[in-house]
Structure 1
Amino acid sequence: MDIMQAMLEKNVILLGIATLITISIGALVQLVPLYTMETTIEKVDGMRPYSPLELAGRNIYIREGCYLCHSQMIRPFRDEVERYGHYSLAAESMYDHPFQWGSKRTGPDLARVGGKYSNTWHVAHLINPRAVVPESVMPGYPFLATRPLSADKIAGDMKTLSVVGVPYTDDQIENAQADLKAQANPEMGDADAMAARYPKATMGDFDGNPAVITEMDALVSYLQLMGTLVDTTSYQTSPDGR
């Protein structure tokens, strides 16, 4: 062993070859098992693709850079769980392209913000954050409440996402526009059919202006969805948050 060690220490080429072999073995041990699995994400009950209105809201969320200050990943630690709720499950991001985990929080984590506040609160917060959170450094987005939602390409977005594995059906894509309108204003479409295609979808006038579907409607519908699809009570959390 001492002779071999001495040879490796004195011969750069041999040391490089030995290092390469060691790294290759480690990589194979890590990667080969993954190819024997159908998926590395545990399937959970309740997960579904975004509705057309929620997807439009998510697109606005990304467009405005909300992910730069708000993560959507609650870590499995006591302080995180006590403040934000049950730690995030991988399956909750399985239809996100791209995912919104993030690594920086200027504002709170939003993984479970759905249902925590009313639609009115979200609208007031987005128009003028300091009206409801005096210490907030978040900029206001009042234009969202007056800008009509342009979602004529939402069916195309859904079709594209289906190519990368999001299980949108032909029926969902075909009824994208009708479902978007029905969610924002049940009187504008078949709310029952929309609810059947997208269980647990929050319906109604999100921004307080039923005359027009705005970008505010879409963004609030997305915010109200976050963390509401999976029943986390069936997942035990230990005292340390795990």
Structure 2
Amino acid sequence: MFGTHYRIERKSIALAVTIMIVASIGGLIEIAPLFTIDDTVESDPSMRVYTPLELAGRNIYMREGCYACHSQMVRTLQDEVERYGPYSLAVESKYDHPMLWGSKRTGPDLARLGGKYSDQWHTAHLKNPRDVVPQSIMPRYKWLSESQLQTKHLGDDLRALRAVGVPYTDAMIENASDDAVAQASPDDDTAGLTKRYGDATQIRSFDGDKATVSEMDALVAYLQILGKLSDAAHQPPPPKE
């Protein structure tokens, strides 16, 4: 076996042809399944899109490097399903650009975090993790409560996501800044927000301070929607034909 390998190495043309053959086999294995992706990836016509406030929170989540310590993908292992909930489906990341599946778990997986804890718990945890989880090594993010959320660019963010397939409408893009403020201001007029994003939209002061809309509001809103954009993972499997 090694003799054949050494002989091929001494002949440049034979080596180049062999490399092309091996690379072609590997490429075929990687590419062929993509031709059946429409049959293998789940669909969910009722799947929600991120609201501007939730999207702003996702951007803060990425900005602060949270994905470096937290994954967002429950694997199909029994212990993971028992700990975190139903394993993740591809459709649940349909509108994530970039996806944040990850593999590093210095902290727990967050794919099913939405609704698990109260807004007050999240706010306290982000301000000083040791106040609620004494053994935590997570950094403090207290300043998020003191930083006003910048909303001017959110329409551009939605427009960029629409260019890669996220179904944001013209009305959503035009009203993105106002909708972000409205979602964290329950005392204001939120009829337009719910009309654009649905009655299931979570509307409240996420950080407990109604006077301003902070980066803490946005991040908590994002954490509270994780795993709730789609119900596909909680549906029974379709009957076998």
TM-score tier (shorter): 0.7 to 0.9
**Aligned partner of 1:223: which letter?**
L
Q: What is the CA-CA distance between 1:16 and the residue it aligns to?
A: 4.8
Please tell me whether the aligned partners of residues 201 and 225 of structure 1 are also in contact (alpha carbons under 8 angstroms).
no
**Aligned partner of 2:109: which letter?**
D
Equivalent position of 1:195 in the other structure: 194
**Aligned partner of 1:136: which letter?**
S
Equivalent position of 1:73 in the other structure: 73
**Aligned partner of 2:193: which letter?**
M
Instruction: Summarize the alignment of residues 142-221 of structure 1 with structure 2, pairs less than 5 Å apart.
Output: 142-189=142-189, 191-199=190-198, 200-221=200-221
Please tell me whether the aligned partners of residues 9 and 15 of structure 1 are also in contact (alpha carbons under 8 angstroms).
no
Distance 1:7 1:212 in 2: 72
Equivalent position of 1:113 in the other structure: 113
Please tell me whether the aligned partners of residues 124 and 132 of structure 2 are also in contact (alpha carbons under 8 angstroms).
yes
CA distance 1:31–1:158, shift in 2 (3 Å)? same
Q: What are the superposed Cα offsets for residues 2-55 of structure 1, whole Å, 9 maximum, x if unpaired? A: xxxx87874444365245324424523542553575586422243222100001
Equivalent position of 1:234 in the other structure: 235
Please tell me whether the aligned partners of residues 74 and 86 of structure 2 are also in contact (alpha carbons under 8 angstroms).
yes
- After alignment, is 77-86 or 24-33 more displaced? 24-33
Distance 2:47 2:137 in 1: 33
Please tell me whether the aligned partners of residues 58 and 222 of structure 1 are also in contact (alpha carbons under 8 angstroms).
yes
TM-score for both structures, normalised by structure 2: 0.87
TM-score for both structures, normalised by structure 1: 0.86
**Aligned partner of 1:99: which letter?**
M
Please tell me whether the aligned partners of residues 53 and 218 of structure 1 are also in contact (alpha carbons under 8 angstroms).
yes
Q: What is the CA-CA distance between 1:233 and the residue it aligns to?
A: 2.4
Q: Structure 1, unaligned stretches of length 5 or more? A: 1-5, 237-242
Q: RMSD in angstroms over aligned alpha carbons?
A: 2.4
Find the residue that maps to 1:58 and give its secondary structure. helix
Instruction: Summarize the alignment of residues 84-103 of structure 1 with structure 2, pairs less than 5 Å apart.
Output: 84-103=84-103
Q: Structure 2, unaligned stretches of length 5 or more? A: none
Please tell me whether the aligned partners of residues 34 and 40 of structure 1 are also in contact (alpha carbons under 8 angstroms).
no
Equivalent position of 1:240 in the other structure: none
Distance 1:11 1:129 in 2: 59
Percent identity between the two aligned chains: 53
**Aligned partner of 1:186: which letter?**
P
Find the residue that maps to 1:218 and give its secondary structure. helix
**Aligned partner of 2:216: which letter?**
M
CA distance 1:135–1:7, shift in 2 (3 Å)? closer
Q: What is the CA-CA distance between 1:130 and the residue it aligns to?
A: 0.8
Find the residue that maps to 1:187 and give its secondary structure. coil
Distance 2:57 2:72 in 1: 15
Q: Check if 1:222 corresponds to 2:216.
A: no
CA distance 1:221–1:65, shift in 2 (3 Å)? same
Give aligned pairs, total. Answer: 232
Find the residue that maps to 1:140 and give its secondary structure. coil
Moved segments of 4+, more than 4 Å:
6-9, 35-40
